[in-house]
């Protein structure tokens, strides 16, 4: 077993090795329980055992342990908590997808392998952050063109639905997921390059408003309203961190409310989601069926859950994607829900700490933007699945089924790791030393 881990030459190695071991043991136990669940459910040793999820577990475990070893060599000063957090969330989500649908689990395993290769490539490319910064306009325009391409050759993988994906030889790519990372890279680079040059806030933000506005309009035209809302949040937080202008947050909040009001009057899908959020019991077998089943599943989980493999999460429509959180909570209970929320909260804390200690403004804004994207997306989908917020249709980062989402999240995490490794040398001076607060 020791050959799978590097010798702990630093406190970072020691902490990360222990946490990665814990993640492997956690998901190994989950695999064993899921395999034996049919015996418990039917009270019979002659039950057919589940085994397909072991394929995903082996790919995840080998990839996780290999990258853990590479990180110690390539990024010796990295944040030791970030990679274990990503690993346990990704492994937990993969096992849940296999629990819900084996075919989707196998597809997610392929995407996981692709994501890990991309992560390794990011580690291998020297100077990747300056490279991303230098060609910021090219990256964003490329993302916009790919997203616009869905108007011409876009498809919906399940048959009938919004054509938001591109078919790449049997693998489906959702350009709007990639566009989120490209937007953060553009904003971070642009603000770092121009913040000290232009003193007029409107003059500074005008190019960003044009490009981000174009991306927003494209997403609205696609009816991808969840991602469009996420874009507003990313833009607002990044600009606020760069300028310290609290009114920008207020303006952004009012913009989201105004967009909801206009969308409610124009789009039937928003009307259905708002009405289902306000009163799901008005039509529990129709337009509110999904959210009602989600609430029932969470309530059915109780404190300790019904047990892995013993619940009925398949009753929830699209449980492997938008509603993977209630599917997990039904079988792991309140303990599982609190565990997932704490993992995302800790991810946010580590991401903001990396931003605070970044060696330059570009890396600071980039780390803050990537952390905001994943954190806000987590809040939106968890809140939507338990009726704290209206449904947005976004995925739960690292855990939900979706190749584009997984690739985007893994890419963001590895960029954060690269930034954290540079952060140990010299932190950039804070332009605003006072606390960020609203009151």
CA 175/CA 134 separation, integer angstroms: 22
pLDDT tier for residue 217 given thresholds of 50, 70 and 90:
confident
Reduced to 3 states, what is the DSSP secondary structure of residue 208? helix
pLDDT of 7 reads 54
Alpha helices in 156-311 (DSSP H): 175-194, 201-221, 225-243, 246-266, 268-278, 289-301
* Residue 364: pLDDT over 50: yes
pLDDT of 397 reads 94
* Residue 203: pLDDT over 70: no
CA 93/CA 367 separation, integer angstroms: 24
Question: Considering only CA atoms, which of 64, 79, 72 is closest in space to residue 115?
Answer: 64
How many helices and strands in the chain, by DSSP H and E?
Answer: 15, 2
- Across the range 299-324, mean pLDDT stands at 88
CA 129/CA 122 separation, integer angstroms: 10
Joined tokens for residue 303: 């404190």
pLDDT of 186 reads 92
Alpha helices in 171-200 (DSSP H): 175-194
pLDDT tier for residue 202 given thresholds of 50, 70 and 90:
low
Among 83-92, 104-113, 287-296, where is mean pLDDT lowest? 287-296
- Across the range 417-436, mean pLDDT stands at 66
State the angle between helix axes of 246-266 and 225-243 in degrees (0 to 180), rounded to the nearest 10: 170
More confident residue, 77 or 220: 77
* Residue 280: pLDDT over 90: no
Q: Are 150 and 166 in contact (CB under 8 A)?
A: yes
What backbone phi and psi angles, to 5 degrees, belong to 422? -75, -25
* Residue 425: pLDDT over 70: no
pLDDT of 208 reads 78
What backbone phi and psi angles, to 5 degrees, belong to 165? -115, 155
Among 18-22, 103-107, 166-170, where is mean pLDDT lowest? 166-170
Q: Are 396 and 381 in contact (CB under 8 A)?
A: yes
Angle at 113 between CA 167 and CA 382, to 5 degrees: 80
CA 378/CA 376 separation, integer angstroms: 5
State the angle between helix axes of 82-100 and 403-423 in degrees (0 to 180), rounded to the nearest 10: 170
- Across the range 63-73, mean pLDDT stands at 92
pLDDT tier for residue 3 given thresholds of 50, 70 and 90:
very low
Question: Considering only CA atoms, which of 249, 227, 247, 226 is closest in space to residue 237?
Answer: 249
- CA dist 110 → 28, 59, 278, 402, 403 (Å): 20, 9, 39, 11, 8
Sign (positive or negative) of CA dihedral 284, 289, 291, 296:
positive
Question: Considering only CA atoms, which of 85, 79, 121 is closest in space to residue 423?
Answer: 79
| Chain centroid, CA 190 distance in Å | 24
CA 208/CA 100 separation, integer angstroms: 41
pLDDT of 58 reads 96
pLDDT of 113 reads 95
Q: What is the dihedral of CA 188, 193, 198, 201, to 10 degrees?
A: 0
Assign residue 318 a region (left: φ > 0; alpha: ψ between -120 and 50; beta: otherwise): left
* Residue 216: pLDDT over 70: yes
Which range of 146-155, 182-191, 277-286, 307-316 scores highest in mean pLDDT? It is 182-191
Joined tokens for residue 207: 């190019």
Joined tokens for residue 58: 């082996």
* Residue 424: pLDDT over 60: no
- Across the range 57-84, mean pLDDT stands at 93
Instruction: Indicate the pTM of the whole model.
Output: 0.90
- Across the range 139-166, mean pLDDT stands at 82
Among 39-48, 198-207, 272-281, 289-298, where is mean pLDDT lowest? 198-207
Residues 6+ apart with CB under 8 A from 402: 111, 174, 177, 321, 395
- Across the range 213-224, mean pLDDT stands at 75
pLDDT of 400 reads 93
* Residue 336: pLDDT over 50: yes
Angle at 318 between CA 312 and CA 320, to 5 degrees: 75
CA 337/CA 301 separation, integer angstroms: 10
Q: What is the dihedral of CA 272, 275, 278, 281, to 10 degrees?
A: -90
pLDDT tier for residue 1 given thresholds of 50, 70 and 90:
very low
CA 223/CA 419 separation, integer angstroms: 34
* Residue 8: pLDDT over 60: no
């Amino acid at each position: 077993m020791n050959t799978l881990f590097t010798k702990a030459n630093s406190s970072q190695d020691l902490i990360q090795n222990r946490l990665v071991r814990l993640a492997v043991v956690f998901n190994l136990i989950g695999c064993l329980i899921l395999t034996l669940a049919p015996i418990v459910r039917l009270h019979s040793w002659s039950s057919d055992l589940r085994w397909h999820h072991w394929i995903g577990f082996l790919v995840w475990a080998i990839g996780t342990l290999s990258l853990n070893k590479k990180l110690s060599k390539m990024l010796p000063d990295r944040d030791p908590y970030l990679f274990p957090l990503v690993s346990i969330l990704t492994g937990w989500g993969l096992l849940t997808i296999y629990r819900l649908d084996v075919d989707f689990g196998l597809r997610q395993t392929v995407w996981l392998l692709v994501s890990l290769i991309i992560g390794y490539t990011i580690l291998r490319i020297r100077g990747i952050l300056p490279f991303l910064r230098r060609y910021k306009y090219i990256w964003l325009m490329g993302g916009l063109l790919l997203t616009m391409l869905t108007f011409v050759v876009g498809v919906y993988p399940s048959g009938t639905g919004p054509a938001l994906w591109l078919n790449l030889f049997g693998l489906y790519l959702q350009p709007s997921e990639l566009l989120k990372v490209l937007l953060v890279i553009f904003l971070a680079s642009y603000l770092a390059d121009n913040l000290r040059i232009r003193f007029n806030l409107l003059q500074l933000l005008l190019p960003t408003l044009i490009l981000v506005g174009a991306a927003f309009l494209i997403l609205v035209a696609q009816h991808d309203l969840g991602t469009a809302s996420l874009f507003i949040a990313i833009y607002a937080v990044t600009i606020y961190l760069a300028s310290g202008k609290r009114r920008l947050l207020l303006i952004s909040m009012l913009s989201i409310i105004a967009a909801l009001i206009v969308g409610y009057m124009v789009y039937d899908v928003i009307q259905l989601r708002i009405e289902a959020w306000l009163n799901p019991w008005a039509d529990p077998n129709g337009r509110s069926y999904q959210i009602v089943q989600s609430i029932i599943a969470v309530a059915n989980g109780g404190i300790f859950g019904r047990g892995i493999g013993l619940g009925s999460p398949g009753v929830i429509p699209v449980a492997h994607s938008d509603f993977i959180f209630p599917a997990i909570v039904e079988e792991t209970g309140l303990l599982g829900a609190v565990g997932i929320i704490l993992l995302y909260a800790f991810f946010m804390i580590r991401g903001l700490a990396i931003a605070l200690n970044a060696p330059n403004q570009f890396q600071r804004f980039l780390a803050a933007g990537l952390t905001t994207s994943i954190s806000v997306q987590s809040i939106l989908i968890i809140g939507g699945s338990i009726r704290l917020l209206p449904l947005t249709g976004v995925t739960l980062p690292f855990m939900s089924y979706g190749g584009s989402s997984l690739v985007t999240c893994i890419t963001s995490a590895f960029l954060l790791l690269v930034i954290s490794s540079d952060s140990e040398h010299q932190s950039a001076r804070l332009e605003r030393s006072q606390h960020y607060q609203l009151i």
